[in-house]
Amino acid sequence: MIPARQALYIDAHHKRLVDALHDAHERAALELQLPGYLQTQRWFGGQSRSLQRASIERWVELESGACIFVVAVTDTSGLETQHQLYLVAGERDGQQRAVIDALGQAAVCEELMDLVLSGARREDYRATLLCEPTGLDTEGCTGAARLVGVEQSNSSVVYGERCILKVYRRLERGTNPEVELSRYLSTEANFAAIPPVLATARIESVDGYSVDALLLQRYVPNDGDGWAWAVGAATQAMGEAREPEALSGYLEAERGTLDFAAALGETTARLHAALARATTPELGPQPVTSNDLARWTAELRRETDETATVVEHCDANAIDLLEALSRVPEAPQLPMPDDAGFQMRVHGDYHLGQVLRGHDDTLYILDLEGEPARSLAERRELRSPLVDVAGMARSLSYVAYAAARDHASEDMAAAWERIVRQRFLEAYLAAASRTEPAILPRDEAVRDQLLAHFELRKVLYEVRYELNNRADWLYIPAAAVRRLLGA
C-alpha cells in the first residue's frame, strides 16, 4: 500500500530551490525529508524497503527554477539505488516554502521539450544534461503538456497528443536498453511498429558518471493495450460459445481474435528480424554455442531450486507442484544440434501489456527496457528470440484464465489458450522463417525444445511471483508447470 503523499519543505526565504541546495544546512534538512517523500511516490517501487538515508548527488537547474536531481537512496540492508527527481520551489507557507514535483508545472514541461528538441547542453553541480535529437520529424511536439495520471516505474508527459516524454525515475549507470534499441529501430532499421524516437537525453559528468534520463517518442493514438482488449474478447468468446468444443468455430467466425493473434505473431517476427540486422558489437546477433546451451540448462536448474524453496516456504500443501518441479534436475542438458539458431538483443519483458492497438488496428511495441528485476547488464545480454515468444505465449495463457476466472470453466480457458496460442505461433514462425540470417533453428524439434525451455523458465518466475504477491492466482502457472513437465 502506498502511504499518503508527503510534502517537502525548505526555508521560506529561499525563492529558488537551487539557493537552498547551496546552503549546507538547508540541503541536509531536505535530504532528511527525502526517504519519506520517496516512499509516497508510486514510481519509486521500493515501498517495502526500510530506507536509511538519501543524498542529493548531482543536480541541473533549469531556467524555470526547477532542478533535475540525482538522488542516491540507501536502505538498512545496504542496497543503494539512484533516482531522478524533478522538483521546484512552490508557494510560501508561513516560515516554510513547499517543494513540489516540477513535472506538474506546464512551464517546466515546455522548457524540457525545448531543451530536448534543440539538442541543448546544460551544466551544473556534478552533472551535465546532454540532449540528442534523432533528426526525425518533430512537428506538433510543442502542444499543451499533461503529466500522465497513472504512475508506474517511470513518469510520462504527453504534449498535444503528438509526443510523449518518458522520464526514467530509477537510474543505472550505462546504456538503457530501451534508449539503445529504440534509437536503432527508429533511425537505422526503420521499424514502424514502435513509436518513433525523436530525441533522448543523458546526465553525464567528468567523473565518468553517465545515465540515460529522458526518451521522447511520437505519441500513438490508440484503443488501449493488448491485454485489456484480449481479456475482453476472450470473455465475450467464452460467454458466446458456452462449451469448449464450440469455441473453435466461434473464433473462426468472429475473426477478430485470431486476426489479432496472427498480427501479433507477424509483428513480433518483424521486430526480431529488425534486431537481427544490427551490425554493431553491442547489438549484432551471434550463433548459439554449446556453452550457451549448457549455461541455459544450469540457469533452469538453479531457478527450479529457487522456485521449490519458495513453494515449500509459502505453500506446504503444494505437494503435486513440488513433485513436478523435482523432475527438472533429471531432465537432460539441452543438446547441441548442428543449428541452434542465433542469440540477439530482444525485448526481454514481452507481454500483451507492452503492445498498443492503434486506431487502425496497427500494433505498436512498447517499453524495450527488459525485465525490471534484472540488472542493466543482464538486460543488454544477447538472448534467444524465443525468450520473447515464450513470454507472449504465457501472456496469452493469463488472458485465458483471467477471462474464465469468474465466467467460465478451466477447460474453456485451456481451449481458448490452445487455439489462440497456435495462431500466434503459426504466424510468428512463418514470418521468422523468412528472415536473413535465419534466427531460429531450422529443425522443428530443436525449436520446440528451446521454446519449451524458455517457457518453463518463465513459468517458474510466475510461480514465485504469484506465491509472493497473489497466491490465489498460483493455479495458472502451476498448471503450466505440470503441462511442460508431463506431470
**Same structural domain, 392 and 437:** yes
Does residue 1 form part of some domain? no
**Averaged over 428-434, what is the pLDDT?**
95
pTM (global) more than 0.85: yes
For the segment 132-164, what is each residue's pLDDT rounded down to a tens digit? 999 999 988 888 999 986 557 899 999 998 999
**Same structural domain, 15 and 73:** yes
Residue 430 confidence (pLDDT) above 90: yes
**Same structural domain, 130 and 262:** no
Higher pLDDT, 4 or 301: 301
Does residue 436 form part of some domain? yes
Residue 338 confidence (pLDDT) above 90: no
What is each CA distance from 60 to 90, 130, 168, 309, 365, in whole angstroms?
18, 11, 16, 46, 32
Residue 316 confidence (pLDDT) above 80: no
**Same structural domain, 119 and 88:** no
The one-letter amino acid code at 334 reads: L
* Mean pLDDT, rounded, of the chain: 92
Does residue 2 form part of some domain? no
For the segment 279-312, what is each residue's pLDDT rounded down to a tens digit? 999 999 999 999 999 999 999 999 999 998 888 8
- Residue 1 pLDDT: 46
Please return the burial class of 109, using the count of CB atoms within 10 Å of its CB with bins 0-12, 13-18 and 19+. Answer: buried
Residue 383 confidence (pLDDT) above 80: yes
pLDDT band at residue 230 using 50, 70 and 90 as cut-offs: very high
Does residue 449 form part of some domain? yes
pLDDT band at residue 437 using 50, 70 and 90 as cut-offs: confident
Last residue of a domain, one of 80, 101, 122: 101
Query: How far is residue 45's CA from residue 285's CA, in Å, rounded to a whole number?
Result: 33
Does residue 3 form part of some domain? no
**Same structural domain, 56 and 126:** no
Contact by Cβ (8 Å): 8, 87: yes
Residue 215 confidence (pLDDT) above 70: yes
Helices (H), 315-443: 319-325, 376-379, 386-404, 410-432
**Same structural domain, 168 and 247:** no
Last residue of a domain, one of 188, 220, 252: 220
**Same structural domain, 137 and 87:** no
SS3 category, 487: coil
State how many domains the chain has: 3
Does residue 330 form part of some domain? yes
**Same structural domain, 168 and 273:** no
Print the domain residue range for 209.
Answer: 107-220
**Averaged over 212-218, what is the pLDDT?**
97
Does residue 142 form part of some domain? yes
- Residue 332 pLDDT: 57
**Same structural domain, 85 and 232:** no
Give the three cell numbers for residue 387. Answer: 525468450
For the segment 170-197, what is each residue's pLDDT rounded down to a tens digit? 999 999 999 999 999 999 999 999 999 9
Say what percent of the chain tops pLDDT 70.
96
Does residue 365 form part of some domain? yes
**Same structural domain, 97 and 111:** no
- Between 76-85, 159-168, 347-356, 401-410, the lowest mean confidence (pLDDT) is in 401-410
- Residue 471 pLDDT: 86
**Same structural domain, 89 and 163:** no
pLDDT band at residue 317 using 50, 70 and 90 as cut-offs: low
For the segment 81-111, what is each residue's pLDDT rounded down to a tens digit? 999 999 999 999 899 999 999 999 999 999 9
pLDDT band at residue 408 using 50, 70 and 90 as cut-offs: confident
Strand partners, 225: 356
292 backbone dihedrals φ, ψ, rounded to 5°: -65, -45
**Same structural domain, 14 and 120:** no
CATH number of the domain that residue 457 is part of:
3.90.1200.10
Last residue of a domain, one of 154, 189, 220: 220
Give the three cell numbers for residue 157. Answer: 508527459
β-pairing, 145-147 vs 80-93, is unpaired
In 303-378, the DSSP E strands lie at 342-343, 355-358, 363-365
